[in-house]
Amino acid sequence: MTQAGKQLARARLDCLCRIVTDGTHDSPKLQQSGIPFVKGKHISGGFVDLENCDHITKEDHEKAIQRSKPERGDILFSNIGSVGDAAFISIDKAFSIKNVALFKPDPDVVDSKYLYYVVLGPKFRGELFAKRSGVAQPFFSLEMLRSHEVEYHHDLTIQKKIASILSTYDDLIENNLRRIKILEKMAQALYREWFVKFRFPGHEKVRIVDSPLGKIPEGWEVKKLLELADVTYGFAFKSKQFNTEGNGKPVVRIRDVLAGVSDTYSPEEAGSKYIVENGDILVGMDGEFHMGFWVGGNAYLVQRVARFRSKVDIGRYHLFLALHEPIQHFNVTITGTTVAHLGHEHIKTIEIVWPKNEARVKVNRFLEPLLGQVLNLRLKNQTLRRTRDLLLPKLISGELDVSDLDIDVTEEAA
């Protein structure tokens, strides 16, 4: 064991934190605007997705934060349903949580960013998963979390050095995420300008006429989605064979649609028609019908996830943006007793405004390079996460000794 490894201590999580609690137990009415309402599925890759979550009223938010108020420097940990994902809060934006545990580290005992990496690491989660309960919906109880013993470096300086090293990767990831959002906004603005407001190049000389979807430029058409794209629904894999040990081939579940990557595998074989590739458009068909581009390499499509591929000259980004409004319409209008379900009977009703060839060619010249940049940045983030995740257990365990590294930790890591 290294000298740093000898300095490891163990303590209950509630001895390292001032508070270990969870989100609201209420079920406030969800809406499309207001205060972000974060659930476990909105935590992925160390970040909180505030862009794609539901919202609640200010009044419901005020009630929720009486139980748990997420603040900068806190750690989120999904403890119900999609268990085991963690995120560090590095912003000062108000939001509420449900099905998520909240840890408020004690700064006199542990550096908050360091504890986040401990929680993110395989040892912490592996030991917890061995105790996991819940058959239909796995969960970690608050008592289980509070009493769970954590192995950590007792020296605060060592903690901050480790947090500083790992934060370098997260800072690069976050910077790439900001660049991705800018590119996405550019693509959305261009699509709205050309295909919603119909202010495309040369629009001044084109008459606007009636169509089944309302007013459209003369010479344009309204076509069924299934005329323009092939839709494939996933294979019915046996969930009991799912694993995170790399046994088999990666499988794409609903929870993976937004992230575009998966850490779930299955040894089952499915036909080649179920293989998804980088750049494929995916839509989750249960709950919230999230859309995303896949960047996780070849993987199998699981039941209740749909893949969309162009079968004519509509570009991938054009198709994605054209799908967005009808899918969001279904998000609002389809309801279920417990979970809303999107089906083929809905997909086949989707109609899309189909521009003349000249407009399609021009828009693809803009949108496809933007998509290429987005996909490349997301692939870079995958590499950064893999590198961080390889270093993380070695640093936390003391296998890599940082005590002699000249790292300035005068500023708080949070």
Which of the two residues, 338 and 44, has the higher pLDDT score? 44
Closest by CA position to 98, among listed 45, 127, 56? 56
pTM: 0.88
| Residue 180 burial (CB count, 10 A) | 17
CATH, domain range 10-157: 3.90.220.20
Which of the two residues, 339 and 120, has the higher pLDDT score? 120
* Tens-digit pLDDT profile for residues 236-293: 999 999 998 899 999 999 989 988 999 899 999 999 999 999 999 999 999 889 899 9
Distance from C-alpha of 143 to C-alpha of 130, rounded to nearest angstrom: 15
* Tens-digit pLDDT profile for residues 18-50: 999 999 999 999 888 999 999 988 888 788 888
CA angle 251, 83, 117 (to 5 degrees): 100
Q: How does the average pLDDT of the chain come out, rounded? A: 92
Distance from C-alpha of 391 to C-alpha of 166, rounded to nearest angstrom: 8
Closest by CA position to 400, among listed 170, 158, 167? 158
Q: Do domains 10-157 and 221-354 have the same CATH topology?
A: yes
Please state, for a pLDDT cut of 70, what percent of the chain lies above it: 96
The fold for domain 221-354 equals Adenine-n6-DNA-methyltransferase TaqI; Chain A, domain 2 (3.90.220)
| Residue 209 burial (CB count, 10 A) | 11
3-state SS, residue 292: strand
Domain ranges of the chain: 10-157, 221-354
Tokens of 297: 């390499």
3-state SS, residue 49: coil
* Tens-digit pLDDT profile for residues 296-310: 999 999 999 999 999
Contact 95, 23 (CB under 8 A): no
Q: What is the edge-to-edge ordering of all strands in the sheet holding 299-301?
A: 265-266, 249-252, 299-301, 275-276
Place of tokens 């309204």: 222
